[in-house]
Amino acid sequence: MKSSLLIVATALMFGVAACSNSRNQQPSSPSGGVSNAVSGPFTDQELQAFAALNPIDTHAHVFHSDPAFNAMLQKLNLRILDIVLVDDNNPELKDLSAESKAAWQFVHGSGGHAILCTSIDPYKMHERGFAQASIRGIDREFSQGAIAVKIWKNIGMEIKDAAGNYILPDDPAFAPIYKDISAHGKTLVAHVADPNSMFDPPNPDAPDYGYIQEHPFWYQYGKPHPASKEKILQARDHLLELNPGLRVVGAHLGSMESDFHQLAQHLERYPNFAVDLAARMPYLMMQPRADMIAFILKYQDRLIYATDNEFTAKDSAQPSINDWEETYAHDWRFFATNDTLDYKGRPVQGLALPEPVLRKLYHDNAAHWFPGIAPPTH
Ligand SMILES: [Zn+2]
């Protein structure tokens, strides 16, 4: 789920007075923000350029149906991958079948703007027949149109074996499930581990600092038996090696958000691996601009645009719609324009990527790594 990002809050701070066809440029900011930072919702011109790419967001969590929300997807010409997951710390996400039902209801009512990524319930992994039951479940979801399966960070950071060791993503219990996903030609979305800042001493400057405050359960630093990020990522790599025919999309930059060199090495080493950008935009924004442009150009076929945006029963529609739209507008300006943006009071200049690369980030790579996500183009 979402690592608390402040870009939306920042955008909202400056964007309240923006109107739909003139972008909001602040001549100066009373709160110490960046002067002339562009924020607020899409201008008409920006929206046109964004919508023309048939954009896809491959990482969102929608478990609620609302006509105004669907209208927003239509306005943006946006398609989303609606990802289900089981989280026993969250009463809303404890029950896979109830959550799937709400997700399917949304997908079916979305007018073709959403498609489903199902999941397994790894908390049941010690039960007899776990793999077979999981396979029956995901095969049923495939037959209804699901195109991917997610595994989540509870594998690696929460669930333990009888000896008290954390279960890892390459645990043999999951092997038949990976084989099944591969045999069906579907994609595995792997959100394993967390940003480095969840393992390190508290750093108020880290993009994920707010997430720690809201979700202290996942904060490993100072725990008597912390999970090991290194071991989790090694197990993920082992999974990639064991399943060369399985397409794996590493959520959140494959949890290598703090080391683009390490990420590059992985993309070189594992041809069956790509990453989504969900909830990690600040890490891209904090890189030197020329380095980031070079990285994206080099790996333009392996990076998939995504947000980790959420819309659930507890959210009221209009504020969520505003948040979603502002996230897409902000991210778009970073990739597509030269505009100056504000990230936590720091100026960030947009990358102004060439149109063919934007098309890959926002559409083609999703279509390639998630077969079935986009209608075939002629
Ligand atoms: Zn997520």
User: What percent of the chain clears pLDDT 90, i.e. is strictly above it?
Assistant: 88
- pLDDT given for residue 4 in this prediction: 43
Q: Residue 377 has what pLDDT? A: 61
Q: How many CB atoms lie within 10 A of CB 204?
A: 8
Q: How many Å lie between the centroid of ligand 1 and the Cα of residue 27? A: 36
Burial class (CB in 10 A: 0-12, 13-18, 19+), 313: exposed
* Domains delineated in the chain: 54-318+353-369 (3.20.20.140)
Q: Is the pLDDT of residue 10 over 50?
A: no
Cβ neighbours, 10 Å, residue 94: 14
* Average pLDDT across the chain, whole number: 92
Q: What is the DSSP string of 31-57?
A: TS--TT-EESSPPHHHHHHHHTT--EE
Rounded to the nearest whole angstrom, what is the distance from the C-alpha of residue 255 to the centroid of ligand 1? Answer: 12
What is the rounded average pLDDT of the residues 344-350? 94
**The pLDDT value given to residue 24:** 45
What are 308's two structure tokens?
A: 């980790």
d(CA 338, CA 333): 7
Tell me the pLDDT band of 19, cut-offs 50, 70 and 90. very low
Q: Mean of the pLDDT values across residues 42-61?
A: 98
The alpha carbon of 144 and the centre of ligand 1 are apart by a number of angstroms equal to 22
Query: Within 13 Å, how many C-alpha atoms sit on residue 153's CB side?
Result: 23
Tell me what pLDDT residue 72 has. 98
User: CB–CB of 211/6 below 8 Å?
Assistant: no
145 vs 375, higher pLDDT:
145
Decide if pLDDT at 173 tops 60. yes
The secondary structure element, H or E, covering residue 303 is strand 303-304
- Would you state the pLDDT for residue 149? 98
What is the reported pLDDT for 376? 67
Average pLDDT over residues 135-146: 98
Q: Which residue has the higher pLDDT, 39 or 6?
A: 39
**Buried/exposed 146-157: b ≥16 CB within 10 Å, e otherwise:** bbbbbbbbbbbb
- What are the residues whose beta carbon lies below 5 Å from ligand 1 (ion)? 1, 308
What's the whole-number mean pLDDT along residues 325-350? 96
- Widest pairwise Cα distance in the chain: 64
- Position 3 scores a pLDDT of 44
Closest-CA residue to 69 (of 323, 320, 349, 346) = 320
State pLDDT tens for residues 265-307. Answer: 999 999 999 999 999 999 999 999 999 999 999 999 999 999 9
Task: Please write the tens of the pLDDT for every residue from 182-201.
Answer: 999 999 999 999 999 999 99
What pLDDT, on a 0 to 100 scale, did the predictor assign at position 34? Answer: 86
Distance 191 CA to ligand 1 centre (A): 8
Q: Quote the CA–CA distance of 107 and 327 in Å, as a whole number.
A: 21
pLDDT category at 29 given cuts 50, 70, 90 is very low
Q: Which residues contact 192 (CB under 8 A, 6 or more apart)?
A: 151, 152, 153, 155, 156, 169, 232, 233, 235, 236, 250, 255
3-state secondary structure of 240: helix
pLDDT digits (tens, 9 = 90+) for 73-129: 999 999 999 999 999 998 889 999 999 999 999 999 999 999 999 999 999 999 999
CA of 85 to the centre of ligand 1 (A): 8
Q: Which residues contact 71 (CB under 8 A, 6 or more apart)?
A: none
